[in-house]
Every structure is written in structure tokens, then in C-alpha cells.
């Protein structure tokens, strides 16, 4: 896929409140600890600073349903990193925490996704921002609403996207 990086007119949110929104999920081991540890590791060197944080949510598995439930969260962050440097940092945290990629949407110790990055739209072989499956995932939208309630993607509010989904299986811990 050809690299595309441009301002995304379809992404609207509070200017300068945050640079990126990260989605975190885990369904192995001590799930709450895994989320906390991932955030600690992401922010350890000072290049990423959390400016808003969602509650932790318990959610049913999505995509591959024959696995344990997940704990999910979102954090809005400020960073001077480029989108690809942020991705590298997220993947380093995943790898250092023992993430093993065996099957798509399968069990994981930690998953850290870049959901949005400023007002950019990026589509290349390594990174797609905004994350292409946000509107299909209540377990992303519910915590996303905690950190960026006014966010719009493609002109749609988080509430409008949630109306099309069953969010009953996404419960605060």
C-alpha cells in the first residue's frame, strides 16, 4: 500500500488537548496490572505524557470469541514523537511485556493501538490512522468516549457510532 499521510478533515476534536489516543487491551494474566504496566512503560522515558485516561472496562472478546474476556482502556497523550516513532514505542512495550503474535485477534498479554494521531490520516503498510476498526468496536468506543467525548470520525460522533453496536458487554471495572 502506498504511504499516505495528510491532514484528515474528517477527524475533529479539541485542538492541542492531545496528540494521540492509544487503545490498550489485554486478556492474559493480571489484566489490570498489564494495562497499568503498559502505561508506565509508555511514559517512562518522558517522550509520552498521559493527559486523559479512561476507566478500565471488562469486555467480551471480539473477532475470535473462543478466548477469555479482556480489560480495555484508552489514554490521550501528548508527545513529540512522530506517528511511526510512537508506533515503534508501542510495539516495544508490547514485545518487552511478552506479547506473542500467534493468531489475529487472539489472546494477548497487551495490545497498544494508535487510534488517532493529531488530525492526520496515515495509510501505509505499518500504520493506519485513524484506526480503521474504531466504529466496529464498542470496547474501543466506550473508553474512547471517556478521554475524547467530542471526537468525531468521518463526521460521526462516538455516540452515533455506539448506537449501531451492542455495548452491554463493555462494563466498567
Identify which of 87, 83, 1, 68 has the alpha carbon closest to the alpha carbon of residue 29.
68
Q: Which of 19, 31, 41, 111 is catalytic?
A: 111
Q: Which residues on neighbouring strands pair with residue 129, listed in sequence order?
A: 122
Rounded to whole angstroms, the Cα distance separating 76 from 52 reads 5
Q: Is the pLDDT of residue 72 over 50?
A: yes
Instruction: Name the active-site residue from 19, 41, 113, 146.
Output: 113
User: What domain range includes position 28?
Assistant: 4-172
Among 31, 41, 99, 137, the one annotated catalytic:
99
| Count of residues making up the chain | 173
Contact 67, 106 (CB under 8 A): yes
pLDDT at position 3 is: 38
Considering its fold, how many domains does the chain have in total?
1
User: Is the model's pLDDT at 53 over the cut of 90?
Assistant: yes
- 66 counts as catalytic: no
Question: Quick check: 32 and 56 in contact, CB under 8 A?
Answer: yes
Contact 42, 114 (CB under 8 A): no
* Distance of alpha carbon 113 from alpha carbon 76, whole angstroms: 12
Domain at 141, CATH number: 3.30.70.560
Query: Is position 111 annotated as part of the catalytic site?
Result: yes
Could you confirm whether 58 is annotated as catalytic?
no
Q: What is the C-alpha separation between 21 and 50, in angstroms, rounded?
A: 9
Q: What SS3 class is residue 33?
A: helix
Q: Could you tell me how far CA 120 lies from the centroid of its own chain?
A: 15
Taking each helix axis as running N to C, give the angle between helix 83-96 and helix 31-43, from 0 to 180 degrees, rounded to the nearest 10: 130
Instruction: Report the mean per-residue pLDDT for the chain.
Output: 88
Evaluate if residue 153 carries a pLDDT over 80.
Answer: yes
Closest C-alpha among 14, 8, 18, 96 to residue 50: 18
User: CA-to-CA distance for 38 and 25, rounded, in angstroms?
Assistant: 10
Give the model confidence (pLDDT) of 75-129 as tens digits.
999 999 999 999 999 999 999 999 887 777 678 899 999 999 998 999 999 999 9
In angstroms, the CA 13 to CA 145 distance is: 12
Whether pTM exceeds 0.95: no
**Is 68 labeled as catalytic in the residue annotation?**
no
Amino acid at each position: 500500500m502506498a504511504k499516505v499521510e495528510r491532514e484528515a478533515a474528517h477527524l475533529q476534536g479539541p485542538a492541542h488537548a492531545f496528540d494521540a489516543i492509544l487503545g490498550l487491551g489485554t486478556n492474559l494474566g493480571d489484566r489490570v496490572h498489564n494495562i497499568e504496566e503498559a502505561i508506565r512503560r509508555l511514559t517512562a522515558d518522558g517522550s509520552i505524557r498521559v493527559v486523559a485516561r479512561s476507566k478500565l472496562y471488562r469486555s467480551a472478546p471480539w473477532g475470535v470469541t473462543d478466548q477469555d474476556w479482556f480489560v480495555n482502556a484508552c489514554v490521550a497523550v501528548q508527545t513529540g514523537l512522530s506517528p511511526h516513532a510512537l508506533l515503534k514505542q508501542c510495539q516495544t512495550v508490547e514485545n518487552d511485556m511478552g506479547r506473542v503474535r500467534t493468531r489475529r485477534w487472539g489472546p494477548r498479554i497487551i495490545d497498544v493501538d494508535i487510534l488517532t494521531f493529531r488530525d492526520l490520516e496515515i495509510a501505509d503498510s505499518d500504520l493506519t490512522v485513524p484506526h480503521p476498526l474504531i466504529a466496529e468496536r464498542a470496547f474501543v468506543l466506550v473508553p474512547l468516549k471517556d478521554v475524547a467525548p467530542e471526537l468525531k470520525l468521518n463526521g460521526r460522533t462516538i455516540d452515533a457510532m455506539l448506537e449501531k453496536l451492542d455495548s452491554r458487554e463493555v462494563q466498567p471495572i
